Amino acid sequence: MAKSGTEQASPLKKGMDILFGVAVMGTVGTLIGVIMGGGIMPLASGTGLLLGGVIGFMGGRRFLASILVGTLLGGALAWFIGGTERISVGAGAGAAMGGFLGVQISMLLDMRAAKKKAASEQADPVAPRI
């Protein structure tokens, strides 16, 4: 069965999601590589780029946005508290917290939407379900 126009992602939108994922997760991977130091940076950056592409392809825009906000806030807080040499540590920790909170918030929003849908179906039982 074909999806409706609202459920189908256009190739441009899908491409932008993938690029957004690559940018955000590539940055996080690079920050992790900087913290770990040495020869691990190319591996961490490559893993971040790959994961970002997959998450973007799957449509995880809310998740990626929460990581981006966490990275920026964590880096800013670390800069304010510890100076410029601590920005990468704060940004990496902020990205981890942002990802965790993004997953939790997304789950709660999905549960709320499911409850609203169930309540609307229960209130109007004669409406056709598509």
Q: What is the mean pLDDT of the segment spanning 19-40? A: 86
Asked if residue 39 lies in contact with residue 66, where contact means CB atoms within 8 angstroms, the answer is no
Q: Mean per-residue pLDDT for 23-28?
A: 88
Its pTM surpasses 0.75:
no
pLDDT in tens, 75-116: 999 999 999 988 888 988 898 899 899 889 888 988 999 998
CB 56 within 8 A of CB 64: yes
Residue 102 backbone class (left: φ over 0; alpha: ψ -120 to 50; beta: rest): alpha
pLDDT at 2: 47
pLDDT over 90 percentage in the chain: 29
User: What is the per-residue pLDDT for 46?
Assistant: 92
Q: Give the whole-angstrom CA distance, residue 70 versus residue 96.
A: 7
The rounded distance, in Å, linking the Cα atoms of 58 and 56 is 5
Whether the pLDDT of residue 122 is over 50: the answer is yes
Backbone angles phi, psi at 31, to 5 degrees: -60, -40
